[in-house]
Amino acid sequence: MDIQAILKQFGPALTQQLTSKSGFTGQQAQGFLGALLPGILSAVKGGGLNLQSLLGGDASSLLSKLDLGGMAKSAGIDKAKAEAGAKEVVPGLLKQLQSQSGGLEGLLGKVGGAGGAQDLLKKAGKLLGN
């Protein structure tokens, strides 16, 4: 999945959301998104996420895997602002990416390769009792 394509498609709306709801300037929002999206993709690829909660729309397991301190530093903001911004945009962004990728399986397949997605989904099935 191409980060530039994601930024092109979702960047303006996410920037608006960060500036209007989390107090970012436009420049801060763009810098933060430039660090946040690779962090999200890396966390999804890295595994160890609570897939049951992700399937239910709870992004807290993903948020806990992100280096928000590092992202804050690269965007020129403090960590509290980065945490607020991530909590604001990550759940909706995941929902959009899943809907355009054919669900969580499609999203995992795009960012981690089909084999990785299948392995993660098998583990999720065991956790969910399937």
d(CA 113, CA 90) in angstroms, rounded, equals 22
Q: Tokens representing 115?
A: 């084999």
Instruction: Give the Cβ contact number of residue 83 at 10 Å.
Output: 17
Per-residue pLDDT of the chain (130 residues; tens, 9 = 90+): 567 788 888 899 999 999 999 999 999 999 999 999 889 888 877 877 777 777 677 888 889 999 999 999 999 999 999 999 999 999 888 777 777 666 556 656 655 544 444 455 555 444 444 4
pLDDT digits (tens, 9 = 90+) for 47-70: 777 777 776 778 888 899 999 999
Compute the distance between CA of residue 26 and CA of residue 20 in angstroms, rounded to an integer: 10
Number of domains in the chain: 1
Q: How far apart are CA 77 and CA 1, in angstroms?
A: 27
Q: Whole domain around residue 57: which residue ranges?
A: 3-127
Rounded CA separation 37/56 (Å):
21
